[in-house]
Amino acid sequence: MIKFSDRQLKIPKLLRPVYLVTAGQSKFDRAMPNKRTEELAVDALTMAAKLIDKTPAELKSYIHTAYYGHFADHFGDQLLGEAVIHDRLGLDPLGNIGVKTGGATGGSTIWEAVKAVASGYSDCTLAMGWERMDEVPTDEGNHLISCAADKDWETPLGHIYTGYYAVMAQKYWQVFGKEEDSFRRTMAEISVKHHGYARFNPFAHAPMKITVDDVVNSPVVAYPLRALDCCLMSVGAACAIICDEATAMELTKNTKNKPLRVWVTAGSHTLRPACRRDMDIPLLPNETDDQYNDLGEKFPGGDRYPGFTGFLAARMAAYYGYRMTGIVDPMEDLDVIELHDAFTISDMQTYEDIGLRPYGYGRDFVESGDCYHTNPHTGKPGRLPSNLSGGLIGCMHAVGATGIMQVFEIATHLWNRWAEIHGDQKLWDEFGREKPADWTDLQVKDAHRALAISHAGVGSHVTTTILMDPDHLLKKDV
């Protein structure tokens, strides 16, 4: 049994308001034999500067400290890659630090950059993440990722991380999905949606027009997960510039970017999925004390929490984040989200962990059409569009960059610049990608508040990044 003390459940507080000013990213692809990582990092920083009408040199002159997210040194066979990138970006002799929290590395990197500004240490910070997963063959890449499991107790069992999610998928399908074929098809619909949205994103490396049948008939990787249930392995970089209020106002003066308030909270849980101890469900503001008393009756086997059906780290990141920012009901208070869809099943589990639906009812977020840009059942805007970038399944998973890509994507909606950036023909041409004839503007209208979940292997680390238009805060002085 895990128990928390009141001190451990203290709601975090920033000592001063912190703002996201701009962000940028490189092209994402399975392999980039013609570019070194530093070239991708330069592409991302140059884009961030361009979005606020600055030259890279002008933007760099504001940066005081740098936070670098790079998960796997062994992928690129380069220890201290942070020092290489920092030098090549011409940011020496400023202080910098590397951040590594598996799949959550991008979110954790922003977490560190935000805390540096909130504390007053820096007025302007760079959060930059990257990964290159093309420097080893895929099976060796799978082995290297599986090293993020416990190397004595779990890695030797197959050396494949998909397997560690597959056991969760099996349990979730049998307990909450009640072994229904319709549940399996709903899981597959997530992949169809994400590959489909990736078609409108020039940065994305797996745009596909596919059907539910294509997903459920794709090759088995680790049953019940099939190839099209799984995220991509990508190469790319993404960055964000985080500032205090005065610097944010100065950097964005007369530009299209309105500074956005930013908060990041984090949770963690064992990287050994089998080693999860039971506990009471920590409740979110939109849940009631007795809400889960009969969970085991409604869903036999579902009363062991977090068991194999939930991610405690995601629940805790939301627990802190919602209370820190005044979010009561994420379905009402948020306008657009990006979730860490490492696998279709983990996307669905996260709906429950962050309170989009109660535990046991995650499938309804998809089946209701709420998760779409345009609800396929009503033709009206989806209540809370998710992963319009294509997510990790359709856009990319360049691990250290992923959480930052998600924040870039939700910010473009809040800046009302989604179509300008994603529809830019020059960008499609530069990336050597064909803009589809049916390209669709996915800008979420009147978006003021957004959230991104960055998640590491089987929920060992999770961050919640919340962005808000400062004129649409839910709580003052947070």
Closest CB 140 distance from other proteins, rounded Å: 4
**Interface residue with other proteins, options 113, 116, 118, 145 (CB under 8 A):** 145
Residue position matching structure tokens 């050597």: 432
Q: By CB under 8 A, tell whether 90 contacts other proteins.
A: no
**Interface residue with other proteins, options 156, 331, 424, 434 (CB under 8 A):** 156
Burial per residue of 229-262, b for 16 or more beta-carbon CB atoms within 10 angstroms, e otherwise:
bbbbbbbbbbbbbbbbbebbeebbeeeebbbbbb
Of 145-153, 236-244, 335-343, 388-396, which segment contacts other proteins by CB under 8 A?
145-153
Q: By CB under 8 A, tell whether 478 contacts other proteins.
A: no
**Interface residue with other proteins, options 9, 79, 157, 328 (CB under 8 A):** 157
Q: By CB under 8 A, tell whether 442 contacts other proteins.
A: no
Q: ω into residue 207 within 30 of 0, thus cis?
A: no
- Binding flags for other proteins, 30-49, as an x/- string (CB under 8 A): ---xx---------------
Closest CB 155 distance from other proteins, rounded Å: 9
| Residues in 359-378 at the binding interface with other proteins, rule: CB under 8 A | none
Residue position matching structure tokens 């330069």: 42
d(CA 455, CA 447): 24
Q: By CB under 8 A, tell whether 96 contacts other proteins.
A: no
**Interface residue with other proteins, options 171, 184, 205, 461 (CB under 8 A):** 171
Q: By CB under 8 A, tell whether 184 contacts other proteins.
A: no
d(CA 334, CA 111): 20
Of 101-109, 216-224, 373-381, 424-432, which segment contacts other proteins by CB under 8 A?
216-224
**Interface residue with other proteins, options 101, 125, 146, 349 (CB under 8 A):** 146
CA-based nearest residue to 262, from 130, 371, 125: 125
CA-based nearest residue to 273, from 186, 356, 353, 171: 171
Q: By CB under 8 A, tell whether 29 contacts other proteins.
A: no
Phi, psi of 345 (to 5 degrees): -65, -40
Nearer to other proteins, 141 or 381 (CB): 141
Contacts with 21 (C-beta within 8 Å, 6 or more apart), sequence order: 52, 124, 241, 242, 243, 247, 248, 251, 252, 257, 259
Q: By CB under 8 A, tell whether 180 contacts other proteins.
A: no
Q: By CB under 8 A, tell whether 150 contacts other proteins.
A: yes
d(CA 127, CA 106): 8
Closest CB 153 distance from other proteins, rounded Å: 5
Nearer to other proteins, 165 or 203 (CB): 165
| Residues in 289-328 at the binding interface with other proteins, rule: CB under 8 A | 301, 308
Q: Report the first-to-last Cα separation within the chain, whole angstroms.
A: 33
Q: By CB under 8 A, tell whether 460 contacts other proteins.
A: no
| Residues in 219-238 at the binding interface with other proteins, rule: CB under 8 A | 219-225
Stretch (H or E) spanning 426: helix 425-430
Cα separation values, 311 from 162, 253, 364, 391, Å? 16, 41, 18, 19
| Residues in 239-278 at the binding interface with other proteins, rule: CB under 8 A | 272-278
Residues that bind other proteins (CB under 8 A): 1, 3, 33-34, 77, 137, 139-146, 150-154, 156-164, 166-171, 174, 219-225, 272-278, 301, 308
